[in-house]
Amino acid sequence: MAKITVELTGTSGRVYRKRPCKPGSQEARNSLSRWAIIIWEKTMKLYWVTTEDHDEDWFIVASSSEEASKYHEEMEGYDPGDAKAEEILDIPDNVPAETGWPSDELLLEVGAKFLLNDQSRVVEIAGRKFCEGMLAATINEINDDLFEEFGDERLNKTKKSSLH
């Protein structure tokens, strides 16, 4: 069941929010009878967001695919329209979730299994496998190659590429 949040706006313009309550609950009815309020419903979902280059593909928590795409574009430096968001699942009401990147704990709570949690993560959800964008892992490997070339250790602990 979706949660609603009751928002009260005072004469000074200050916004007062009550904690989320269930639609139809006594708390919601009491609020409705005493205040002029705005009520909105927001069901959070888990989206898989990708770009053509696949450098930063990863999950985003949002209430719509548009919100997920926009968040990814803004946070990763892509142009509007570059990111595509695919809905993976609804996040249960008992799992706290805000718009943004999900924590590993949230992913585990919605049934994800980490198959690889190293330089890039591979996650299985509902029988599908998702691989995190490889840009960071590629940069770390290149840096380690340079460190090694100058006589240092592989500071990022990446494995030496077998392609040379």
User: Over 50: is that where the pLDDT of 126 sits?
Assistant: yes
How much of the chain exceeds pLDDT 90, in percent?
A: 45
What is residue 9's predicted lDDT score, i.e. its pLDDT?
A: 52
Q: Which residues contact 103 (CB under 8 A, 6 or more apart)?
A: none
pLDDT tens digits along 150-161: 888 887 676 776
The pLDDT of 41-45, averaged and rounded, is 82
Helices assigned H by DSSP within 48-155 = 65-76, 104-109, 135-149
**Whole-model pTM over 0.75:** no
